[in-house]
Amino acid sequence: MRASSNSAHRTFQVLAGLLLAVALALTGCTNAGNGGSDSGDGDKAAGIQAEGDGKGAGGSRSDASGDADSGSGSSGKRKPPAPTDTHIIRTAQLTVRVKDVPAALDQAREAAEDAGGLVGNESTSRDGKGRERSRIVLRVPQDAYEDVLTALEGTGKLIDRDAKAQDVTDQVVDVESRVKSQRASVARVRELMDRATKLSDVVALEGELSTRQADLEALLAQQASLKDRTSMATITLSLTESGAKAAAEDDDPSFGDALGGGWDAFVTALRWVAIVLAAVLPFAAVAALLFALWLRFLRPRLSRRPTPSPAPSAAPLPAREGDDD
């Protein structure tokens, strides 16, 4: 009995060991398969991640280098904004005294045309002394503005100069943005018109399209005006003639000048006298009216009043004896 029980116990142990070995073998195979697939997936993920990291590192390096370059450029070598980024309207008015007005006009036209500009309005007249006066408007490019001003000042003696610069950059940017928005709005209305099937919708959309088209044309006209005024500067030149004879006439007054000055002084004095009389006239009229009323009513009454009789004087007292002593 004890031998059979021992053999059975050994058999059970052997079977248990085999079952445990088979279970471990199966578990190892399963783990091996899962591990292979996991390792493969892991290798793929690692490759993708490495590639992404490489790209990211490269991108970060390029970004870093770009930032470094931009930082160094902005800190040490920052350039001023280009002239096209700033829109300025420049105008100037010059008054120059010259000996020969026609010759100075020719020089002004030549300076403007050589700079790529053009000549606008022009007018010429003479004063009372026969001296010639001319006024001319020149349009020149912005980059040649200062050079043309210098050339015009050199034609004679500069009397007056008034130069102005108006920055309209914000206005130009605003108009450009509004033009883009209005064009997109017109395009949307046209698309709706293409899709419309009802006559009422088509009519309504046509009215809306005409309104938006008119607004767009107004914006385009404003944009063209700004572009013209910012690309071309305006210079107004006034020329006056001055010679030795005219200068002598200006410095030494003649008999006619003295007579004219005296007449002007006489007329000015008469004017002031008339002004004073006009100021005093209301008071004088009131005083005359009061005086007339006094003569008409008060004075006759005063003259008709009876004069009072003088009071009788007292009789002298008789003299007493001894008064002479």
Structural domain contains residue 140: yes
Q: Is the pLDDT of residue 288 over 60?
A: yes
Structural domain contains residue 222: yes
Q: Report the alpha-carbon angle 33-34-36, nearest 5.
A: 65
Structural domain contains residue 305: no
- The pLDDT value given to residue 262: 84
What's the rounded Cα separation, in Å, for the pair 109 and 140? 11
Find all residues with CB under 8 Å of 163, minimum gap 6, and list them. 90, 91, 92, 93, 149
Instruction: Tell whether 111 and 205 lie within a shared domain.
Output: yes
What's the rounded Cα separation, in Å, for the pair 97 and 104? 10
Instruction: Tell whether 245 and 147 lie within a shared domain.
Output: yes
Instruction: Tell whether 242 and 111 lie within a shared domain.
Output: yes
Of the three residues 182, 217, 251, the one that is the final residue of a domain is 251
- The pLDDT value given to residue 261: 80
Instruction: Tell whether 93 and 215 lie within a shared domain.
Output: yes
Instruction: Tell whether 160 and 221 lie within a shared domain.
Output: yes
What's the rounded Cα separation, in Å, for the pair 228 and 68? 40
- Span 66-76, average pLDDT: 41
Instruction: Tell whether 228 and 132 lie within a shared domain.
Output: yes
Q: Indicate which CATH number applies to the domain containing 141.
A: 3.30.70.260
Q: Are 86 and 169 in contact (CB under 8 A)?
A: yes
Structural domain contains residue 79: no
Structural domain contains residue 28: yes
Q: What is the pTM of this model?
A: 0.46
The tokens describing 79, both together, are 């350039």
Structural domain contains residue 274: no
- The pLDDT value given to residue 224: 93
CA 161 distance to own-chain centroid: 22
Structural domain contains residue 285: no
**How many domains does the chain divide into?**
2
Instruction: Tell whether 24 and 154 lie within a shared domain.
Output: no
Q: How far is CA 168 from CA 24, 42, 173, in A?
A: 87, 62, 9
- The pLDDT value given to residue 187: 92
pLDDT single digits (tens) 82-136: 445 789 999 999 999 998 898 999 999 999 999 999 888 888 888 777 788 899 9
Instruction: Tell whether 94 and 213 lie within a shared domain.
Output: yes
DSSP string, 245-308: HHHHHHHS--HHHHHHHHHHHHHHHHHHHHHHHHHHHHHHHHHHHHHHHIIIIIHHHHHHSPPP
Instruction: Tell whether 38 and 96 lie within a shared domain.
Output: no
Structural domain contains residue 215: yes
Q: Are 208 and 189 in contact (CB under 8 A)?
A: yes
- Domain of residue 18 covers 8-51
The percent of residues above 70 in pLDDT, for the chain, comes to 62
The percent of residues above 90 in pLDDT, for the chain, comes to 24
The tokens describing 194, both together, are 């293409």
111 by Cβ neighbours in 10 Å (0-12 / 13-18 / 19+) ranks as: buried
What's the rounded Cα separation, in Å, for the pair 84 and 323? 134
Instruction: Tell whether 30 and 104 lie within a shared domain.
Output: no
Q: Is the pLDDT of residue 31 over 60?
A: no
Count how many residues are written for the chain: 325
Secondary element (H or E) of residue 114? helix 101-114
- Sign for the pseudo-dihedral over CA of 98, 103, 109, 110: negative
Long-range pairs of 142-147 with CB within 8 A, sequence gap ≥ 24: 142/83, 142/88, 142/90, 142/230, 142/231, 142/232, 142/233, 143/83, 144/115, 144/116, 144/117, 145/90, 145/92, 145/233, 145/235, 147/115
SS3 53: helix
